[in-house]
Chains A and B, each alone.
Chain A
Amino acid sequence: METKNIMIVGVGGQGSLLASKLLGRLLLTKGYDIKVSEVHGMSQRGGSVVTYVRFGEKVYSPVIDKGEADYIVSFELLEAARWTEYLKNGGRIIANTQQINPMPVITGAAEYPADLAAKMQNMGIDIDAFDALSLAEQAGSAKAVNIVLMGHLSRSFDFTLDEWMDAIEKSVPSKFLELNKRAFLLGREA
């Protein structure tokens, strides 16, 4: 099979590392070759962050380049728009509609562009934007946005619900397990 490319983008601190950990666990049990490339250090402090997940028979490069992403999972709307160049022809963006103002917007040096989801749609991008934050809060914690998004992404793959749940069990601390399972299902059904 051709290598599949998933980018997880967001704002430092939103929990993209857990999302990629979950995906990695799942894909490992399916016997794929996998590379997951993360961001650590300075850029994590509220900056724009990106994680690359690649899987297939044999994966070489640890990163995804422009025009290569089958899926971009975005924790925040501006971040989805920032990375559209990386989307493959026919790729899909799954985006949380939450907006987090970056410092240049907060200080008034720049403006947060309006109607980004609609604009991306008008460009012909297959974008599936929904309010993952509300669903995470409904599940019990705003921090579960990452798992809600993974739940929504799961609809695009053939893996069974049991396989996803198994990967969640192996990825989150037991005291947050039920919360995360709820969040995953809410995302999957959204």
Chain B
Amino acid sequence: MKQLMLGNEAVARGLYEAGCAFVSSYPGTPSTEITEAAAKYAEIYAEWAPNEKVAMESAFGACLAGKRSFCGMKHVGLNVAADPLFTIGYTGVNAGMVIGVADDAGMHSSQNEQDSRHYARASKIPMLEPSDSAEALAFTKLAYTLSEQFDTPVLLKMCTRIAHSQSVVETGDRTEISKPYEKNPQKYIMMPGNAKRRHPIVEARTKALVNWAETAPINYVEAGADHSRGIITSSTAYQYVKEVCGDRYPVLKLGMIWPMPEKKILDFAAAVDELVVVEELDSFIEAHCLSLGLKVTGKSLFPCIDEFSQNLVAQKLGMQLACTGCKVEDAIPARPPVMCAGCPHRSLFYTLAKNKITALGDIGCYTLGAVPPLAALDTTICMGASISGAHGFTKALAGAADNKTVAVIGDSTFMHSGVTGLINVAYNESNTTVIIVDNSITGMTGHQQNPTTGMNLKGDPCTKIDLETLCRAVGIRRVRVVDPYNLKETETALLEELAANEPSVIISRRPCALLKYVKHEKPVAVDPDKCRSCKLCMKIGCPAISMKDGKATIDNTLCTGCGVCTQLCHFGALHGGKEA
């Protein structure tokens, strides 16, 4: 049956049809929907792991036990999972194992623009790269065949425009696969003696995969009449090339991006005057062509920054551009993403900003605390870096009386890689104050459960990791919980813990206002006669509050009645909402 599917849903469908029985992932845009969609198939066990490393190791264990397995992550998640990645490249698999990784060229929702293709070459693991949903489904199934045929995990590389674009797919049936586990220490125990014997096997495997790539149907040439130019491309770049050039130039479309064929590329190059590589981000296909001794045009023409589009490809290839429409003369104000009305993080960040705290931040919705008017964050690096960073910052300033530094980290991010940083704080005794902003969900990626929520991916109740107990267990004696909607309570806790002469954790706890079970209060009401236009209520950057004719007004469709603004007003002009 023909269906319209997101690239990510098509990967999940591919998992289903390929007989995948185990999925373990950590959410991350643009990869999240693969695992969410896989969880909807009853035949697939699917879970959120606390981080990508755990997910990959779990998926490896499942493939070892004889079931086809999958783990999914965003590009930066693969950094977290890089440790197992490089070694399961050596052990190979029992049943097939596929690792989904989604890049984010253009950084729609990411902190860097890294190109995951380098991991395939570095870890000597083959990588397939679909260019639409139909290929996402087909390549997922093919990845399992290759995984078992060549005894290797296989990387499936998605990107934002493939992952989050719907296109037409034809679905098929599921085939169940099961293999017996056999103990094989030489293959699976990677101590030096065994690993030394595995490495040559890995190199031979890459050679065999190159041979496969030479004739693989997913690496194909599309004929073109004009041989003055030949284009090698893959993924979204292929779509832009076809959009612009149609059938004009011959195109070599690579479905397997690592390892790449040699003879096929040399033959293609020999049949055209100018060889052009069109690829997003880094020089990868181009670098391979150069290693084959070819003269090639790639990054000298195309940028290694940001995602491409048809106009960009047309312009760089000297083709006709669409006639651009006109621009409105007025300056159009930007509309950056903001913390939602009622967001429990807002009042915490207001308290930090008010007290001029240095706040080392982390990855999640609360990164938006960096945006004016709150502007309450100093750093955002990677998952967990807030706590470790604050530890180093505090140690470096040891003894300074005016050290007002905190780490701010979400509940899900804390479970992902904050715990180890906190152990370091306790073990090496830095006087660090850690604030866990616990909104009881993984917010930014669209409400995924995590170990602290008491629910699993399938929506069933499960063991709930207790944050207070965990923090105490790793050696933090000062652990306290505050309600961030209560400004006074939050500020008191902050100042007391900063003053304390030992490490402490403040859990700022309030569920995300967008969660279905969270009941909103009546919207806050304004008494315009009492409003003195001081704009203090505007300092929290709530999208529900604005000034109209010099008086504060509340947008009733947005206001959740959290009551934070009513605590700010000195003149009693704002009332209603939740009472502090």
Q: Is the CB of A107 within 8 A of B168?
A: no
Q: A111 interface residue, CB < 8 Å from B?
A: yes
Q: Is the CB of B338 within 8 A of A103?
A: yes
Which residues from 220 to 235 on chain B have a C-beta closer than 8 Å to any C-beta of chain A? none
Per the bound structure, the CA–CA distance linking A61 and B235 in Å amounts to 11
Which of the 9-residue segments B93-101, B148-156, B182-190, B329-337 touches chain A? B329-337
Q: Is the CB of A46 within 8 A of B166?
A: no
What residues of chain B lie closer than 8 Å to A34, measured between beta carbons?
4, 166-168
Q: Is the CB of A40 within 8 A of B32?
A: yes
Q: Mark A132-164, 1 if CB is under 8 A from B, else 0.
A: 000000000010000000000000000000000
Which residues from 91 to 129 on chain A have a C-beta closer than 8 Å to any C-beta of chain B? 91, 101-113, 116, 119-120, 123-125
Which of the 9-residue segments B196-204, B492-500, B538-546 touches chain A? B538-546
Q: Is the CB of A42 within 8 A of B330?
A: no
Q: Is the CB of B335 within 8 A of A89?
A: no
Pick the contact of A113 from B3, B236, B322, B330 — CB < 8 Å? Answer: B330
Q: A63-B161, A103-B541 are in contact. Are A81 and B332 (CB under 8 A)?
A: yes
Q: B309 interface residue, CB < 8 Å from A?
A: yes
Q: A42-B29, A62-B236 are in contact. Are A111 and B326 (CB under 8 A)?
A: no
Q: Is the CB of A78 within 8 A of B557?
A: no
Pick the contact of B331 from A85, A110, A125 — CB < 8 Å? Answer: A110
Pick the contact of B165 from A28, A36, A67, A105 — CB < 8 Å? Answer: A36
Pick the contact of A103 from B236, B329, B371 — CB < 8 Å? Answer: B371
Which residues from 332 to 357 on chain B have a C-beta closer than 8 Å to any C-beta of chain A? 332-340
Q: A28-B2, A35-B166, A61-B239 are in contact. Are A112 and B326 (CB under 8 A)?
A: no
Per the bound structure, the CA–CA distance linking A68 and B325 in Å amounts to 8
Instruction: Say how far A135's CB is from chain B's closest CB, in angstroms.
Output: 16
Q: A175 interface residue, CB < 8 Å from B?
A: no
Pick the contact of A43 from B109, B242, B330 — CB < 8 Å? Answer: B109
Pick the contact of B30 from A41, A59, A65, A119 — CB < 8 Å? Answer: A41
Q: Is the CB of A89 within 8 A of B333?
A: no
- Which residue of chain B lies nearest to A20 when distances are taken between CB atoms in the complex? B166
Q: Is the CB of B239 within 8 A of A60?
A: yes
Per the bound structure, the CA–CA distance linking A56 and B455 in Å amounts to 43
Which residues from 69 to 89 on chain A have a C-beta closer than 8 Å to any C-beta of chain B? 69, 78-79, 81-82, 84-89
Q: B368 interface residue, CB < 8 Å from A?
A: yes
Q: Is the CB of B167 within 8 A of A62?
A: yes
What residues of chain A lie closer than 8 Å to B322, measured between beta carbons?
65-68, 88
What residues of chain A lie closer than 8 Å to B325, measured between beta carbons?
66-67, 69, 84-89, 91, 125
Q: A174 interface residue, CB < 8 Å from B?
A: no
* Residue of A59, A61, A65 with most chain B CB atoms under a 10 A cut-off: A61
What residues of chain A lie closer than 8 Å to B326, measured between beta carbons?
84-85, 123-125
Pick the contact of A61 from B243, B321, B545 — CB < 8 Å? Answer: B243
Q: A39 interface residue, CB < 8 Å from B?
A: yes
Q: Is the CB of A67 within 8 A of B324?
A: yes
What residues of chain A lie closer than 8 Å to B211, measured between beta carbons?
none
- Which residue of chain A lies nearest to B334 when distances are taken between CB atoms in the complex? A104
- Which residue of chain A lies nearest to B133 when distances are taken between CB atoms in the complex? A35
- Which residue of chain B lies nearest to A35 when distances are taken between CB atoms in the complex? B167
Q: A15 interface residue, CB < 8 Å from B?
A: no
Instruction: Say how far B55's CB is from chain A's closest CB, in angstroms.
Output: 19
Q: Is the CB of B161 within 8 A of A37?
A: yes
Per the bound structure, the CA–CA distance linking A40 and B31 in Å amounts to 10
Pick the contact of B334 from A45, A60, A102 — CB < 8 Å? Answer: A102
Per the bound structure, the CA–CA distance linking A86 and B368 in Å amounts to 29
Pick the contact of B161 from A62, A65, A69, A89 — CB < 8 Å? Answer: A62
Q: B373 interface residue, CB < 8 Å from A?
A: yes
Pick the contact of B335 from A35, A36, A78, A142 — CB < 8 Å? Answer: A78
- Which residue of chain A lies nearest to B241 when distances are taken between CB atoms in the complex? A60
Pick the contact of B368 from A45, A105, A113 — CB < 8 Å? Answer: A45
Instruction: Say how far B518's CB is from chain A's closest CB, in angstroms.
Output: 16
Pick the contact of B310 from A44, A61, A108 — CB < 8 Å? Answer: A61
Residues of B within 8 A of A (CB): 2-4, 6, 29-30, 32-33, 108-109, 132, 161-162, 164-168, 236, 239-240, 242-243, 309-311, 321-340, 365, 368, 371-373, 444-446, 538, 541, 543, 545-547, 557
